[in-house]
Amino acid sequence: MTIEVEHLGHRYGDLVALDDVSFHVRPGEVFGYLGPNGAGKSTTVRILLGLMHPSSGTARVAGIDVARDPVAARAAVGYLPELVALYEGLTPNEHLDFVARVRRMDEGVAKRRGVALLEALGLAAWADEPVRSFSKGMRQRVGLALALLHRPPVLVLDEPLSGLDAQAALVLKEVLRGFASRGTAILYCSHVLDVVERVCDRAMILSKGKTVAHGSIAELRATTRGTSLEEVFRSVAADADPTAIANTLLAALDA
Amino acid sequence: MSALGLVTRRFLERRLLGDGDDAASPVPAAATTLTVSTLIFLLLAQERSPFETYVLMSAACLVWSAVRTFFEARELDATAADRGVLEPLPIAAWTFAAARGLVLGAELLVGTLNVALPAIMITAVVVGPLAAGRAFLAATAASLTGLAVATFLRAVLLRFLGVRKLEEWEGPIRLVVAVGLFALLFAAPDLDAAARASGVMHVLPPLSFARFCADGGAWSASAAAVVAMIALIVAALALARARRTTDERRGGGGDGPLARFVRLGVADAERAGYEFTRANLARDRTFRARVFPLFAFPFAAIVLLAKDGAGFAPLLISVYGASMYLVVAQTFVLFSESQRGPRLVEALPILDADAFRTGAQKAFHAHVTVPVHLTVLVGLAALAAFGRGPGFVAGLQHVVLGTGFAVLFGSFFFERLEGLAFCTSDDGKFPASLQNRAFAALMLSAVAALIGMNVVGRPIPYALAVLVLGLMIRLRLRRRSR
Question: Which has the minimum average pLDDT: A42-56, B31-45, B102-116, B147-161?
Answer: B31-45
Percent of chain A clearing pLDDT 90 (strictly above): 38
The CATH number of the domain holding residue A204 is 3.40.50.300
Whether A86 has its CB under 8 Å from any CB of chain B: the answer is yes
- Per-residue pLDDT, averaged over B305-328, amounts to 60
Whether A134 has its CB under 8 Å from any CB of chain B: the answer is no
Determine, yes or no, domain membership for A61.
yes
Q: How far is CA B245 from the centre of its chain?
A: 27
A161: pLDDT confidence band, cut at 50, 70 and 90? confident
Facing A49 at nearest CB: one of B6, B19, B88: B88
Determine, yes or no, domain membership for A125.
no
- Where would I find the H helices in B127-169? 129-168
Average pLDDT over chain B reads 64
Give the Cα separation of B460 and B315 in Å (integer). 13
The string of DSSP letters for B397-410 reads HHHHHHHHHHHHHH
Compute the nearest-CA separation of B3 from chain A (Å). 6
Angle, helix B370-385 to helix B257-264, in steps of 10 degrees: 140
Give the Cα separation of B172 and B192 in Å (integer). 28
**Contact predicate B60/B36, CB 8 Å:** no
Percent of chain B clearing pLDDT 90 (strictly above): 0
3-state secondary structure chain A: CCEEEEEEEEEECCEEEEEEEEEEECCCCEEEEECCCCCCHHHHHHHHCCCCCCCEEEEEECCEECCCCHHHHHHCEEEECCCCCCCCCCCHHHHHHHHHHHCCCCHHHHHHHHHHHHHHCCCHHHCCCCHHHCCHHHHHHHHHHHHHCCCCCEEEEECCCCCCCHHHHHHHHHHHHHHHHCCCEEEEEECCHHHHHHHCCEEEEEECCEEEEEEEHHHHHHHHCCCCHHHHHHHHCCCCCHHHHHHHHHHHHCC
Compute the nearest-CA separation of B345 from chain A (Å). 21
CB contact under 8 A, A85 and B84: yes
Q: Which residues pair with A24 in a beta bridge?
A: A4
Give the Cα separation of B54 and B212 in Å (integer). 10
Tens of pLDDT along A121-153? 889 999 998 888 888 889 889 999 999 999 999
Greatest CA separation found in chain B? 69
Question: Which has the minimum average pLDDT: B105-119, B208-222, B243-257?
Answer: B243-257
* ipTM > 0.85 for the complex: no
Question: How many residue contacts between A and B have a Cβ separation below 8 Å?
Answer: 66
Determine, yes or no, domain membership for A98.
no
* Of B255 and B400, the one with more pLDDT: B400
State yes or no: pLDDT of A47 exceeds 50: yes
* Of B369 and B313, the one with more pLDDT: B369
- Per-residue pLDDT, averaged over B239-244, amounts to 46
User: Phi and psi of B197, rounded to 5°?
Assistant: -80, -25
- Per-residue pLDDT, averaged over B77-98, amounts to 79
Q: Which of B93, B96, B101 is nearest to A74 (CA)?
A: B93
In the three-class reduction of DSSP (H, G, I as helix; E, B as strand; rest coil), residue B24 is classed as coil
* Of A140 and B223, the one with more pLDDT: A140
Cβ atoms within 10 Å of A201's Cβ, excluding its own: 16
Residue B203 is predicted with a pLDDT of 55
Give the Cα separation of B191 and B185 in Å (integer). 9
State yes or no: pLDDT of B334 exceeds 60: yes
Compute the nearest-CA separation of A79 from chain B (Å). 7
Average pLDDT over chain A reads 86
Determine, yes or no, domain membership for A14.
yes
Q: Which residues pair with A207 in a beta bridge?
A: A210
Cβ neighbours for B412, distance < 8 A, ≥ 6 positions apart: B472, B475, B476
**Contact predicate B430/B21, CB 8 Å:** no
Cβ atoms within 10 Å of B60's Cβ, excluding its own: 32
Determine, yes or no, domain membership for A127.
no
Could you give the number of structural domains in chain A?
Answer: 1
Whether A99 has its CB under 8 Å from any CB of chain B: the answer is yes
Tens of pLDDT along A61-105? 999 999 999 889 999 999 998 888 888 778 899 889 888 888 888
Question: Which has the minimum average pLDDT: A224-238, B9-23, B150-164, B209-223?
Answer: B209-223
Whether A148 has its CB under 8 Å from any CB of chain B: the answer is no
Determine, yes or no, domain membership for A184.
yes
Tens of pLDDT along A167-190? 878 888 888 888 899 999 999 998
Structural domain range at position A54: 3-89+136-253
Cβ atoms within 10 Å of A88's Cβ, excluding its own: 21
Residue B258 is predicted with a pLDDT of 61
Determine, yes or no, domain membership for A30.
yes
Tens of pLDDT along B395-451? 676 667 667 766 776 676 667 666 777 777 665 555 555 555 556 656 655 665 555
Determine, yes or no, domain membership for A96.
no
Tens of pLDDT along B4-55? 888 888 888 776 665 544 333 334 444 555 555 555 555 555 555 655 666 6
